[in-house]
Amino acid sequence: MVLRSIDDQMTGSDSKSIMRSLGEFVGHVVKGIKTDPTAPQVKEVGRSVETEDRGDVVLRRTTIEEVELRNPPKPDTDEPPPSP
């Protein structure tokens, strides 16, 4: 939670220190180095939980809906891609 004065809220300016900005920059660079670009991207789009209490037993069903984005296959030939 960031506490800002009324003047900061009205102008929309954030007063981050230079060290904070530098730390965020280094964090983004490290994340980029560690991330595998060939790995499929998975994004959770929905989650539902059903719970039923039966005395001493609790039944719980969790359904997770995900979307996986895979890299498109690269053409084997040297043909240029079709123009729109």
Helix (H) or strand (E) holding 7: helix 6-11
pTM score over 0.75: no
Range of the domain at 60: 40-71
> What are the two backbone dihedrals, phi and then psi, of residue 74, each rounded to the nearest 5 degrees?
-90, 140
At 75 the pLDDT is 61
Indicate whether 15 belongs to any domain.
no
Helix (H, G, I), strand (E, B) or coil at 32: helix
Indicate whether 59 belongs to any domain.
yes
Above 70 in pLDDT, residue 29?
Answer: yes
At 57 the pLDDT is 95
Q: Label residue 22 by pLDDT band (50, 70, 90).
A: very high
**Total number of domains in the chain:** 1
Can you tell me the distance from the alpha carbon of 1 to that of 20, in angstroms, rounded to the nearest whole number? 15
At 42 the pLDDT is 86
7: exposed, middle or buried (C-beta count within 10 Å: 0-12, 13-18, 19+)? exposed
Q: Which residue type does 16 have?
A: K
